[in-house]
Amino acid sequence: MSSVASKIASKSLLKQVFRLSQRALSTSTEPRTQKLERIADELLSLTKIEKHDYAILFRHKLGLNRYGPAVSGISDPSSGSAASGPGAGAADAQAAEKTIFNVKLEKFDAAAKIKVIKEIRGITDLGLKEAKDLVEKAPSVVKKGVTKDEADAIIEKLQKAGATAALE
């Protein structure tokens, strides 16, 4: 019951804060700096929960969600591709060279299973059981977020042990 009451109270509080911020921005009699200082003082007087609720409301009003802008085609103005149109962001992302890779164990030779498990333990610092489980559920990612040089070294070690590995 108390959660329902707190939700209702937080919604009404958000409405009040939003009305205050709209009223503060709509009055043109006081200078801009005084308006901003008053708004900042009001925001600083909020409790932690009220600040969190206000932040959510503010992001919602700006059209943002947890993962970035809700409108597609918005690009960073510092990237220089803003005038190129909405499709230019995807082309820039594809043109950027990939620098972080995942090493995936595709398959292994049954006779070399023990060697592969030992290499996996050396590469990942896993225990014997965890390394064995990782090898047995192949294809699986062995190491995430490594550079190209590290990934090539890991693939070479796994191939020497009798496994087939690939970059992702």
> DSSP H helical segments within 27-125, as ranges?
32-44, 48-62, 88-95, 113-124
CB 101 within 8 A of CB 72: no
- Top-tier CATH class for 101-167: alpha beta
- Residues 59-101 have pLDDT tens digits of 878 777 665 555 544 444 444 444 444 555 555 555 457 778 8
Report field, pTM of the whole predicted structure over 0.75? no
Packed helices 148-161 and 113-124: angle between N→C axes, nearest 10 degrees: 150
CB 19 within 8 A of CB 5: no
Mean pLDDT over all residues of the chain? 74
